[in-house]
């Protein structure tokens, strides 16, 4: 697959459309198992290709953590293959009757899940996403068009080659999975403008990538992304529980979108809560930035400015604000939240209910950490991303979020009056 040649996106998308036809009726689970087997059988080729990407990143002086994210080994590759097998074992998302009724004229209407057709993923994630996303698309009856980042191009090329071999071995068209195998950014633009030829684009990556996709797409998009998540400690909270939840939401994995970025504390419990809670966070290496009232309670907290309330740190940094009760907390979240995951810690029923009702977010937690917002934690068995928009899918997107539906209407000659 030469990268020097201009890839014909038009031909690629035609191939994807062709390949998607009939996929709903094919044995998709057998294909997923064949993909998994092919990945394990050709592990050496994949690891060799991956080594090239890793060497390239090392030459560029990329940080050890990022190089590690890119690196595959036998064990990780086995995990990737097992992921395909797990997707195969999930229930079929197609052909589910979501609803059905009979009209007065005798027409039978069924609302039945159906494939999107062609799904494109534009991503800068680890190479395992190349396989995870393809497996989900196959299971959902859609062709997958992948556009990964250039630093993983060799790995993605090897993985896609092997998955296509697996598909072909199972009797499915290879073009069910395709890679936009070129560093030409104009192809991304072309992909984003391919109305009618791409049914859904999902961006996964940093804020810049997501913004680019959302602003330039003419095809339907599900936005994934930014999580400026809050934990609000209400005056009635069990303070030990609140400390545990805040600590978990910030520290357990700070680089992900469902980690907390701002702690809101009711003034009534600030003195009782903040000293110990912030000391524990600080002991875990968390840098704290507080409002004036928080700084009056706990020494040596750096001053927060307005930009802190709006920042998704994705790091061991936490903004801390003392608020005057639920209304104040709700107003802060409405202003600065990104509609991802928001938590209240409270013992008061009415406050919990108002928080649930009034917070506009994909996931609203009462007395639990925000860190649970993902497809695996929610029990979906897989995840293609976490939506931060309200159209189509909100929050973790599993298999049922990457299918559409159609109405099947059966009659015996009905015509409209």
Residues that bind a copy of itself (CB under 8 A): 21-22, 24-25, 101, 103, 107, 109, 114, 116-117, 195, 199-200, 214-215, 218, 220-222, 238, 241, 244-245, 247-249, 252-253, 334, 356-358, 360-369, 371-373, 377-379, 389-392, 394-395, 404-416
The span from the CA of 83 to the CA of 400, in Å, is 17
* 209's tokens: 């990538």
The strand ranges marked E within 210-306 are 229-233, 260-266, 287-290, 302-303
The span from the CA of 96 to the CA of 340, in Å, is 28
- As measured in angstroms, the least distance from the Cβ of 20 to a copy of itself is 9
φ, ψ at 318 (rounded to 5°): -140, 130
* 315's tokens: 């790091």
Nearer to a copy of itself by Cβ, of 74 and 408: the residue is: 408
Nearer to a copy of itself by Cβ, of 84 and 231: the residue is: 231
CA distances to 97, 131, 176, 186, 280 from 160, in Å = 33, 8, 10, 21, 46
Nearer to a copy of itself by Cβ, of 117 and 148: the residue is: 117
Nearer to a copy of itself by Cβ, of 155 and 370: the residue is: 370
Nearer to a copy of itself by Cβ, of 36 and 191: the residue is: 191
Nearest-CA neighbor of 188 among 164, 160, 161, 209?
209
| Chain-centre distance for alpha carbon 394 | 10
- As measured in angstroms, the least distance from the Cβ of 126 to a copy of itself is 20
Sheet containing 177-179, strands listed edge to edge, beginning at the edge strand earlier in sequence:
177-179, 143-147, 118-123, 200-204
- As measured in angstroms, the least distance from the Cβ of 65 to a copy of itself is 20
Rg over CA atoms, the chain: 24
- As measured in angstroms, the least distance from the Cβ of 358 to a copy of itself is 7
The span from the CA of 220 to the CA of 202, in Å, is 9
Nearer to a copy of itself by Cβ, of 78 and 392: the residue is: 392
Nearer to a copy of itself by Cβ, of 74 and 98: the residue is: 98
Question: What size, in residues, is the chain?
Answer: 417
- As measured in angstroms, the least distance from the Cβ of 11 to a copy of itself is 17
**Residue 380: CB partners within 8 Å, gap ≥ 6?**
396, 398, 399, 400
* 355's tokens: 């928080």
Nearer to a copy of itself by Cβ, of 41 and 378: the residue is: 378
- As measured in angstroms, the least distance from the Cβ of 45 to a copy of itself is 35
- As measured in angstroms, the least distance from the Cβ of 353 to a copy of itself is 10
- As measured in angstroms, the least distance from the Cβ of 263 to a copy of itself is 15
């Amino acid at each position: 697959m030469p990268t020097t040649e201009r890839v014909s996106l038009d031909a690629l998308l035609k191939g994807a459309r062709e390949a998607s036809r009939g996929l709903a009726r094919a044995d998709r689970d057998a294909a997923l198992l064949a993909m998994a087997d092919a990945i394990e059988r050709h592990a050496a080729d994949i690891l060799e290709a991956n080594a090239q990407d890793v060497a390239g990143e090392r030459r560029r002086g990329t940080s050890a953590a990022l190089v590690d994210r890119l690196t595959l080994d036998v064990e990780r590759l086995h995990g990737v293959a097992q992921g395909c097998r797990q997707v195969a074992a999930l229930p079929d998302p197609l052909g589910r009757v979501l609803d059905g009724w009979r009209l007065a004229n005798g027409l039978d209407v069924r609302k039945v899940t159906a494939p999107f057709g062609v799904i494109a993923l534009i991503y800068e994630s680890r190479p395992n996403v190349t396989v995870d996303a393809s497996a989900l698309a196959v299971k959902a009856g859609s062709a997958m068009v992948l556009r990964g980042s250039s630093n993983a191009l060799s790995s993605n090329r090897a993985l896609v080659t092997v998955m296509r071999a697996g598909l072909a071995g199972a009797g499915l068209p290879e073009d069910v999975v395709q890679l936009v195998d070129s560093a030409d950014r104009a192809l991304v633009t072309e992909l984003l403008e391919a109305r009618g030829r791409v049914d859904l684009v999902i961006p996964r990556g940093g804020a810049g990538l997501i913004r680019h996709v959302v602003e330039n797409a003419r095809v339907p998009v599900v936005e994934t992304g930014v999580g400026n998540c809050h934990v609000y400690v209400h005056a009635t909270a069990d303070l030990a529980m609140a400390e545990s939840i805040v600590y978990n939401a910030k520290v357990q994995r700070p680089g992900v979108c469902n980690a907390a970025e701002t702690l809101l504390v009711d003034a009534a419990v600030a003195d009782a809560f903040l000293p110990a809670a912030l000391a524990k966070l600080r002991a875990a290496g968390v840098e704290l930035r507080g409002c004036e009232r928080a700084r009056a309670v706990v020494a040596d907290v750096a001053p927060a400015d307005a930009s802190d309330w709006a920042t998704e740190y994705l790091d061991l940094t936490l903004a801390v604000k003392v608020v005057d009760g639920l209304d104040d907390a709700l107003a802060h979240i409405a202003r600065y939240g990104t509609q991802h995951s928001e938590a209240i810690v409270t013992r008061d029923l009415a406050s919990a209910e108002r928080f649930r009702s009034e917070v506009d977010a994909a996931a609203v937690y009462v007395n639990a950490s925000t860190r649970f917002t993902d497809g695996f934690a929610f029990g979906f068995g897989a995840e293609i991303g976490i939506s931060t928009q309200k159209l189509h899918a909100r929050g973790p997107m599993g298999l049922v979020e990457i299918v559409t539906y159609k109405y099947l209407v059966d009659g015996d000659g009905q015509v409209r009056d």
